Structure 1
Amino acid sequence: MQNQDDLAVQVARLYYYQNLTTEKIAEELGLSRPKVSRLLTHAKKNGLVEIRIHDPREPTRTLEGLLREHFQLERVHVIPTPENANEAECMRRVAMYAANHMGMLIQPGMTVGIAWGTTLNAVSQHLIPKPIPGVTLVQLNGSGTPTNFMSDHALGLLQRFGDNYQASVNPFPIPAFFDYSETKQALWRERSIRRVLDLQQQADLLLYSIGSAKASVLSYVYAANYLDPQDLKDMQQMNVVGDIATVFFREDGSFDGIPLNDRASGPDLSLFKNRKGAVCIVAGESKALALWGALRGRLMSELIVDDKTVRKVLGYGGVV
């Protein structure tokens, strides 16, 4: 007797390759039509089938084309959302798209850096199982607090990616922010820490979002009180608009001279600047200003984002 995966692949080939209807497939294989439908769903849900959509429209006339041209991005994916969709729904749709896209981005033998946060956590909830040989995952920024050395949020996110792709997982069990920059400098000389830092620098693919203190779906670093009132006041004085992997940047994309970055555990943002394989995932108009800054700083090569946020970002630049 065929197992479910084998039967699902057989049904998928008849449906997608030979264009047979579910009724014809049921008749040919001696199955019920509901059983055929369930097998097709099983094939998509478990990564046995990957669906790609190629938009035939002229790229320069689309939001994707405008973003790509204006900010010299390699790839842009703009996710359509209903006119009345709130930011939580935009997040859900972007996360589902990004989770499906991961199966094409992550290739055998890759080292993948992942920054924890609200958006990547949402993506991890929608991943489609796909064992990929030789994949190494590395956490890009620490997540500890004074009361919890390793955040369950960050560890759970990383483990879901690891389980999904059967990858080796390298956590970064250090504070998200050190109390003293001298402590960070000393720890960065330790061999065990250097091993993780080297993996981050060697990563073939970087997956991250953008945090913002003004986000409607609050970024985890702000929601979980990683920052005290003085930190927030200092950021405002420095004209900070967002962060990547808990390292902060201004509206013009610059990140030098921000004192909090000296205590942050995330990588210097030059790691993301003009780098192939730097994939940013953003949802929600309230993050538009932060995304605008990151785009101006060339802090990504590929962007997955909802259409409402794109229109607002392009409005900042007078593009639309």
Structure 2
Amino acid sequence: MREEKKKLLAKAAYLYYVEEKTQNEIAEELNIYRTTISRMLKQAQKEGIVKIHIEGIDSEIFSLEQHVKQKYGLKQIEIVSVGKEETEAEKDEQLSQTAAYFIKRNIEPNMTVGVSWGATLGKAISRIENKRIGNTTIVPIVGGPSHVNSQYHVNTLVYELARKLNGQSIFVNATVIQETKKLKTGIFESKYFGELKEHWQRLDMAIVGIGGSLSFKKSQWRDLLTEEDYEALRLREAVGDCCCRFFDQDGKLLTGDLYDRTIGLDLKELSKIPHAVGIARGKVKAKAILAMIKRGYIHSLVTDQETILEVLRLDKDSTFQV
């Protein structure tokens, strides 16, 4: 049995037997049909996952998930266990696998799904198994990078996700940061951009990466920032970005010249989408993740254990600290 499937069976069992939630509540929380939950609970017993305690998965993770979910009012959260000896590459791989399973589980027929970019998000999409879902439309919610990297360009991610779901894809033909506000406005108000903006107005779900420290400049798009941009962001104490929109530790959007030159969905609009999912890991991103979830820009989060513990530490919550 695949590890992702085993964990989902164990989570359903934990919510039912330990949290004492009803099958209807579990179905709503996991975005799975009520009848499927019943079968999953039976399979969990058949597979030996449910005995006196939850077997094969560290149930402490589920307790941590429930604490974070309730503390920040999240719809869903997936936290990946982290071993002491694991390399950063191994941690990235585990997160990508979990994120892939999460995305596949949450996309339903007739959805319009927005996608931003990032290495972790790109790896997650590459690991999604083909699944025919009726009438899905996948669209970019940010502009493209300066130099096309076919592996992680937002249009590539959109195309790959649509292909794997047998859906429709819409592309963007402009870089995320323009030289002037006038150029950005001209593109944003052009006829060709109209179709994409219409899709932004009816998004059912958005899947986004979260950027952290300003010291990390090897992003596909941060090379479009000028030294003046960086200096302004440092002075205003930016802690991260999402959809190429920067914010401070309180989640306040840093508007101004750079903001006005950026082609991407506004984070206030992101928060209004029925289901906005953030995928990110790494202690350097903890401040950004904390700001995003406290401000309510995203509704669900896929991360790992060491990252979320750092988020709680920054928020002065010692419940799960060693």
Match of 2:284 among 279, 286, 294: 286
**SS of the residue aligned with 1:173?**
coil
- Residue matched to 2:179: 179
Percent identical residues: 21
What amino acid maps onto 2:77 in structure 1?
V
- What residue in structure 1 maps to residue 34 of structure 2? none
Q: Is the 8 A contact 1:216 1:284 kept in 2?
A: no
Query: For residue 70 of structure 1, what is the amino acid of its counterpart?
Result: K
Gap runs ≥5 in structure 2: 20-59
Partner of 1:114: 115
Cα separation, partners in 2 of 1:280 and 1:200, compared to 1, 3 Å: same
Bigger CA radius of gyration: 1
Do structure 1's residue 164 and structure 2's residue 120 form an aligned pair?
Answer: no
- Cα separation, 2, equivalents of 1:257 and 1:159: 31
Q: How many pairs align?
A: 271
Q: 1:217 to 1:226 in 2, by over 3 A?
A: closer
User: TM-score, with normalisation over the residues of structure 2?
Assistant: 0.77
Does 2:169 match 1:213? no
On the 8 A contact 1:269/1:299 being kept in 2, the answer is yes
Determine the C-alpha separation between the residues in 1 that align with 2:209 and 2:300. Answer: 11
Does structure 2 retain, via aligned residues, the 8 Å contact 1:215–1:284?
A: no
Map of 2:54 onto structure 1: none
Q: Which residue of 1 aligns with 2:9?
A: 53
- Mapping of 1:184-199 within 5 angstroms? 184-199=184-199
Residue of structure 1 in register with 2:305 after alignment: 307
Amino acid corresponding to residue 105 of structure 1 in structure 2 = N
Shift of the 50–166 alpha-carbon distance from structure 1 to 2, 3 Å rule, reads farther
Contact 1:274 1:301 in 2 (8 A): no
Shift of 1:196: 0.1
Tell me if the contact between 2:206 and 2:273 (Cα under 8 Å) persists in the aligned partners.
no
Distance change (3 Å), C-alpha of 1:216 and 1:91:
farther
Matching residue of 2:42? none
Following the alignment from structure 1 to structure 2, what is the Cα–Cα distance between the partners of residues 70 and 132?
33
Q: CA deviation at 1:191?
A: 2.4
Write out aligned runs for 1:268-279 (5 A). 268-273=266-271, 275-279=273-277
Cα distance, 1:214 vs. partner? 5.3
Is the contact made by 1:139 and 1:158 (CA closer than 8 Å) also made in structure 2?
yes
Structure 1 residues 214 and 233: alpha-carbon distance in aligned structure 2, compared to 1, 3 A threshold: closer
Distance 2:273 2:281 in 1: 22
Root-mean-square deviation over aligned CA pairs = 2.6
